[in-house]
Copies of this chain bind each other. A is one copy, B any other.
Amino acid sequence: MVYFQLEICESGATGNVVYYLPMKKTLPVKDIGFAKLDFARRARTGFGETVFGPGKTPEQMVGIFRAFRERRLPVLATRCTHEQAAALEAADVPVRYDPVARAITSDWGRNKKLKGRVAVLTGGTADIPVAEECAGTIEFFGGRAARYFDVGVAGLHRLLNVIDKVRKADVVVAVAGMEGALPSVVSGLVSAPVVAVPTSVGYGAGAGGVAAALAMLNSCAEGVSVVNIDNGFGAAVVACRMLRRLKA
């Protein structure tokens, strides 16, 4: 066991304050040059490692997936290109690629099953990629996701058609761009927490998701919290952290 000093204080009238941070040397983080792979992540947080795809070369992606495969640890890469997926296939790394969600999932390893269920809603069809990133991540982490897409508030009957099913979910993820009104309307109709995901769908004033994000933060409906624009992955983690508590 190795101790090292976090903060050394001078001796003074008020006595010493010394923090030591001991640490086992076997820190299971592998440095493969372009990234530090955290193999202890699932042990530490309960969820397997996930990789943010943008900026990584196809070769790097292959290297990362292989490192996890050696340890039989599941891994998910988000926002991936066809090129990255093709490189893995060419390298005989067994993965699945979802071109809508732009996600690559390892065919090995398993996250523990989570109890409960998440309802993932979108306002329009253009929000579906973000919602699929969310739903796919939930499933990767062992949860169940029920999809209700294209149920935006401008045609209220679409939402009312499915609301009784949505009401059975333990967490609701509401994905919407433009004016971002879906979470407000949904939250008034359900008793579960609503995680709102603004999307960059739309144009003009408040484009890029700003209008939707502001609307969601200002929701007059109780029970809504918000993640970053287009952050379907983030909403999934919040939802799964909730689900994991269901057995506690």
Contact = CB atoms under 8 A, between A and B. Distances in A.
Q: Which of A158, A206, A235 has the most CB of B within 10 A?
A: A206
A132 interface: no
A223 interface: yes
Interface in A104-146: 116, 123-126
Interface string A40-51: 101111110000
Contacts of A178: 218-220
A163 to B, nearest CB: 6
Interface residues of A, number: 114
A72 B12 CA distance: 11
Interface string A79-98: 00000000000000000000
A46 B47 CA distance: 31
A218 B242 contact: no
A181 interface: yes
Nearest to A159: B156
Interface of A: 4-7, 9-24, 26-28, 34-36, 38-40, 42-47, 55, 71-73, 116, 123-126, 150, 152-158, 160-161, 163-164, 170-171, 178-181, 184-185, 187-189, 191-193, 195, 198, 200, 202-231, 233-235, 237-238, 241-242, 244-246, 248
